[in-house]
Amino acid sequence: MEPDFSNLLKVLRRETPSRPTLFEFYLNDQLYDRLVRNDAVDREFKVIPAFRNAGYDYATFHVPGFNFPSGESAQEQTRSINEGGGIQDRSSFESYPWPDPDEADYAAIERAQEHLPRGMKLIVPGPKGVLENTIDLVGYQNLCMLMLDDEQLVYDIFEAIGRRLARFYELAVQHESVGACISNDDWGFKTQTMLSPHDMRRFVFPWHKEIVQNVHKADKPVILHSCGYFEEIIDDIAEDIGYDARHSYEDAIMPVEEAYEHFHDRIAILGGIDLDFLCRSTPREVYNRSRDMLDRTAERGGYALGSGNSVPDYVPQENYFAIIRAVTELRS
């Protein structure tokens, strides 16, 4: 099937697409290489033919040149969330080298457009989100203490990060080849949000609302990718902030089947084949659950099939392709 971004747009508008539709935040280098094995491809843009060959109507594309340096190296990917990246007080806040979103390499979007097949669009995520970047820079425990000791500094940190992220999306979404944006910001543990809902509404959500407004001004949808517990803040996500879709579901928190039944009339539901299930199950079990989700949502719409979070390299490839097969068999 040729890519057709209008199918994903229908999903994001909680409509029924003309055919089953796939959604994934990102895959992994091994899968990208396998999916483009027979294609002549610029390595900088290999994600585009990889997504196209797997059957997606878009490719996610990270804009280079804008991030919040936290001192984390590639060898520290499992560091504690309590290890902040240098902002501990007012002095370190003022001396932090804040990045300028206007200096990001938005020309990379234009270069990527040259590789886009007809009917395909880019979806641009951010360099993490408002809360994630704050925790990276401050440390989770220190952030909780600062909320008691220096509330104004906490407001200022969130403002410094949120304002820059909102500007980044405002600029990225102007490009014609960008069909939507992903606002990626993990908010919760398994049983609660990382900050209380009250504090999320004070410090975090206002900046997400501005991000959504900036994307919507360009008449394009925006997807929330956020791991963790969310049931207590679903009104904020769908109504107050105004996200078009939510991605990242975990069976231990709320299986995607349950999330769809509860919330699909308020917000589009994306992915949801639990990552642990995807790793531990057989390809047949993954295929059957995928087909069941497609059957469940076929007449009601507002759903695209994919993993509960992403497809890291420890996911068995045959299980990932079982998801793809569930869609491609229905398309043929």
Q: What is the pLDDT, as a whole number, of residue 44?
A: 82
Q: What is the pLDDT, as a whole number, of residue 332?
A: 72
Q: Comparing 39-43, 125-129, 147-151, which segment has the lowest mean pLDDT?
A: 39-43
Q: In sequence order, what E strands does the chain have?
A: 58-60, 121-125, 178-184, 222-225, 245-247, 268-270, 303-304
Please report, rounded to a whole number, the percentage of residues in the chain having pLDDT higher than 70: 96
Residues 6+ apart with CB under 8 A from 229: 188, 189, 190, 191, 192, 193, 253
User: Per-residue pLDDT for 71 more than 90?
Assistant: no
Q: Does residue 142 fall inside a structural domain?
A: yes
Q: Report the pLDDT averaged over residues 144-154.
A: 97
Residue 277 sits in which domain range? Answer: 5-27+53-71+87-331
Q: What is the pTM of this model?
A: 0.95
183, 223 Cβ separation under 8 angstroms: yes
User: Per-residue pLDDT for 40 more than 70?
Assistant: no
Backbone angles phi, psi at 300, to 5 degrees: -100, -20
Q: Does residue 77 fall inside a structural domain?
A: no
User: Per-residue pLDDT for 39 more than 70?
Assistant: no
Q: What is the pLDDT, as a whole number, of residue 70?
A: 84
177, 113 Cβ separation under 8 angstroms: yes
Q: Does residue 169 fall inside a structural domain?
A: yes
Amino acid at 99: P
pLDDT band at 83 (very low <50, low <70, confident <90, very high): confident
Q: What is the pLDDT, as a whole number, of residue 77?
A: 58
Q: Does residue 41 fall inside a structural domain?
A: no
243, 268 Cβ separation under 8 angstroms: no
Q: Report the pLDDT averaged over residues 82-87.
A: 79
Q: Does residue 76 fall inside a structural domain?
A: no
Q: Does residue 79 fall inside a structural domain?
A: no
The tally of domains found in the chain comes to 1
pLDDT in tens, 9-33: 999 999 999 999 999 999 999 999 9
C-beta atoms surrounding 113 within 10 Å? 18
Q: CA–CA separation, 187 vs 196, rounded Å?
A: 10
Q: Does residue 38 fall inside a structural domain?
A: no
Q: What is the pLDDT, as a whole number, of residue 74?
A: 43
Please report, rounded to a whole number, the percentage of residues in the chain having pLDDT higher than 90: 91
pLDDT in tens, 233-271: 999 999 999 999 999 999 999 999 999 999 999 999 999
Q: Rounded mean pLDDT of the chain? A: 95
Q: Does residue 44 fall inside a structural domain?
A: no
Q: What is the pLDDT, as a whole number, of residue 75?
A: 44
Q: Report the pLDDT averaged over residues 189-206.
A: 98
**Looking at residue 256, which CATH number applies to its domain?**
3.20.20.210
Q: What is the pLDDT, as a whole number, of residue 72?
A: 58
Q: Coil, strand, or helix at residue 250?
A: coil
Q: What is the pLDDT, as a whole number, of residue 78?
A: 63
